[in-house]
Copies of this chain bind each other. A is one copy, B any other.
Amino acid sequence: MRPMAPAQVRQAQSSLSGFPEWLPAARIVEQQFIDTLRRTFELHGFSGIETRAVEPLSELTRKGETSKEVYLLSRLQADPGEETTDPAKQLGLHFDLTVPFARYVLDNAGTLHFPFKRYQIQKVWRGERPQEGRFREFIQADIDVVGDGALPLYHDVEMPLIMHEALSALPIPAVTIHVSNRKVAQGFYQSIGIAEDLLAEVLRVVDKLDKIDAGRVATELVDVVGITPEQADAALRLAQVTGADAEQVRQGVLAALDGADPSELLDQGLDELAELLRSAARRRPGAIIADLKIARGLDYYTGTVYESFMAGHEDLGSVCSGGRYDSLASDGKRTFPGVGISIGLSRLLARVIGGGMLEVTRAVPTVVLVAVADEAHRGASDAVADVLRSRGIAADVSPTAAKYGKQIRFADKRSIPFVWFPGVDGEPDSVKDIRSGEQVSAEAATWMPGDEADLAPRLRTVGDAAGRPGEQG
């Protein structure tokens, strides 16, 4: 009578830094996370797609900025003259799922129905310097909606709610989604007289609020960017506005203007933000707050932007981010606006697994090990296992007809909860719960574990494990 040890959830030995691999128990965690995300996305009507791992370099470097992080491909046995410097022919691994999705939308624009809602959970690669210890291969989980010509604001509103629902279904600390809107920032700066061409610089400096104090940010805004002290003060007041109540946020922003007239763009941005906050308050109270200091991202998104933080793990940075692009893709004639949000799943898992936050009841899918009395009776054991499997109960048959004690140890080492003993010479079969030691007569055609939760490995947050009733033998 003893509790069965849960399987250790940890990383596998890996000989290549930046390419994480999981031992089987941790892979169960990863798979259950992926299954949960997929299920939530499908309940919201998103189609799953996968794109090829490879894009032409010209596609990957279209935005310039991330070109440093691309892995290029070449054939080991390339033909003479096959090497190319033409970026339209040179292939590289994708570094995110947005660039390939935009290309997929253009390739299939004649066939897809718009607005097109897709989720995509795939590995991406970044050619980081080997010594930097960053992930060079990791899984992203993205949802995006893309329209043909126009895309209703409704999708900006639903996107963070769906992602919050998905994250809330995972056994992780609570995540809060912080939202802002490019039109609010840009409209605000317009309203207080900051020139359009300084916008990116102002945002870049305001983004330092996480690292340096407001006074130094103000000084840099004035001395380096060249806006007035009054404009700098107003920009800092805007960055302090935060909250979940639509009306309060609007008032906060207007107050930060300190008497300046709001521009049309600012009004429009505030209306969009208010719509999102009102819907969030109704559908998922506590999920979303406006946070107008969000700057990173505002320079390439065109409207709503999202960042997300996990309670107690704010040091990890944003665990899921995104926003609206008015032109996710364009073929010159048609423009496809999009709004999306992306989880850095591997980074989240590395924290959850590396931090020992989860355990799993076992590292194998097996519910029952069917023992083998002797090799002459192996057929009876196979038959029991086949019946159990046909009823959805994962079963292994002992690979050897060793003494029963040894076969039970085989199950115990793997935390397989039940061992089945086929009856020999007309005796009934019996099954033993090796956690409690209890052994009962059973028939393969009707038996089920007393707790149906035993049918699959279960995740538990480590703090919970001791306190949960019914988990001990």
**A interface residues, Cβ below 8 angstroms from B:** 12-16, 19-24, 27-28, 30-31, 42-54, 56-57, 67-77, 79, 91-93, 103-104, 107-108, 111-113, 115, 117-118, 123, 125, 127, 129, 136-137, 151-152, 154-155, 158, 279, 282-283, 363-366, 378-379, 382-383, 386, 389, 392-397, 399-400, 413-414
Contacts of A79 in B (CB 8 A): 129
Q: Which residue of B lies closest to A386 (CB)?
A: B283
User: Which of A15, A47, A56, A57 is packed against the most chain B CB atoms within 10 Å?
Assistant: A47
Tell me if A24 and B49 are in contact (CB < 8 A). Answer: yes
19 contacts between A and B (CB under 8 A): A12-B107, A15-B56, A16-B52, A21-B50, A21-B52, A27-B47, A27-B48, A42-B365, A45-B396, A53-B123, A68-B77, A71-B76, A73-B127, A75-B127, A75-B129, A76-B127, A77-B127, A154-B378, A154-B400
Contacts of A20 in B (CB 8 A): 52
* Pairs A-B, 8 closest by C-beta atoms: A45-B396, A75-B127, A19-B52, A42-B365, A24-B47, A45-B366, A70-B76, A43-B389
Contacts of A113 in B (CB 8 A): 413-414
User: In the complex the two chains form, what is the Cα distance from A19 to B12 in whole Å?
Assistant: 30
Contacts of A69 in B (CB 8 A): 76-77
Among the listed B31, B44, B104, which residue makes an inter-chain contact with A389, where contact means beta carbons less than 8 Å apart? B44
User: Given contacts A53-B125, A67-B76, could you give 17 more A-B pairs where the C-beta distance is less than 8 Å?
Assistant: A13-B107, A16-B54, A19-B54, A21-B52, A30-B50, A45-B365, A53-B123, A54-B136, A69-B76, A69-B77, A71-B75, A72-B75, A72-B76, A79-B129, A152-B400, A282-B379, A283-B386
Chain B nearest CB from A209 CB (Å) reads 30
Tell me if B49 and A27 are in contact (CB < 8 A). Answer: yes
Tell me if B363 and A47 are in contact (CB < 8 A). Answer: yes
Decide: A399 near B152, CB < 8 A? Known: A137-B54, A386-B283: yes
